[in-house]
Structure 1
Amino acid sequence: MADLDVTEILFDPDFMDTGLVCKRGAQVIGDDGMAVNAISNTPFAGVVTSDRGDLLERIATGERVKGSITIHTVFPLSDGAAGQTADIVSWRGRDYTVTNVNDYQHFGAGFVCATCELIPLAG
């Protein structure tokens, strides 16, 4: 295990944002035999930074805005697994899909670094 405990910074109120909500969907089989997503909303805290920021993409059919953020948190975010969709994170009135999670559990108390893409694409 590494000696540096990065979670001390993640819990520092100067860095931490407490306005995050994780919308986690688990697929369950309904009475009709069809899969449905059961969504749970869980507030959590983390350090949010810009990843690539908001980008205007111009294509033949028009324009759209793409965006992404990076979240460092001790909350176990997921980019999807068997029977579970990728987490949706709400932050500052916008929703982001968790597209990549790096696990740093070997640094002190442990944390994850998640890349999140803006949804829906606007434009």
Structure 2
Amino acid sequence: MALLDVTDVLLDPDFMDMGLACVRTTETVGDNGRPTTTTVRSVFAGVITSDSGDILERLAGGERKKGSITIHTIFQLTSGFDNVTADTVTWRGNEYVVSNVNDYAHFGRGFVSATCDLKPLAG
């Protein structure tokens, strides 16, 4: 285990954003062969940094806006596994889909660093 507890900084109220919401969707298949979807909404805190920022792509058929952020948090975000889809995070009125999660459990209490892509593409 590393000696530096990064969560001391991540949990500092002066540094983190308290207004994050996560929607996690689980799909199960019943005995009748039909899928059932369960959605759970959780509120959490984290430190938000820009990843690639907002990018305007100009294409022959029009324009679209894309972008990404990085979230550092002790909340266990996921980019999907088994029957759980990738988490959707709402921040400042925008929705982002978790595309990559790095686990830093060996730093103190542990945290994750998640790359999240803007959803939906707009333009």
Identity of paired residues, percent?
61
Q: Give the structure-2-normalised TM-score.
A: 0.96
The equivalent residue for 1:9 is 9
Matched, 1:117 2:117: yes
Q: Which amino acid aligns with 1:12?
A: D
Corresponding residue number in structure 2 for 1:37:
37
Query: Alpha-carbon deviation of 1:32?
Result: 5.0
Segments of 5+ residues of structure 2 without an aligned counterpart are none
Report how many residues are paired: 123
* 4+ residue runs over 6 A deviation: none
- The TM-score normalised by the length of structure 1 is 0.96
Distance in 2 (CA, whole Å) between partners of 1:116 and 1:20 is 13
Q: 2:70 aligns to what?
A: 70
Residue 56 of structure 2 aligns with which residue?
A: 56
Say whether residues 1:97 and 2:97 are aligned partners.
yes
Counterparts of 2:55 and 2:36 in 1: how far apart (Å)? 33
Deviations 1:58-88 (A, max 9, x none): 1111100001100000000000000100000
Any idea what SS the aligned residue of 1:8 has? helix
State the shift of 1:30 in Å: 4.9
Q: State how far apart, in whole Å, the 1-side matches of 2:61 and 2:31 are.
A: 42
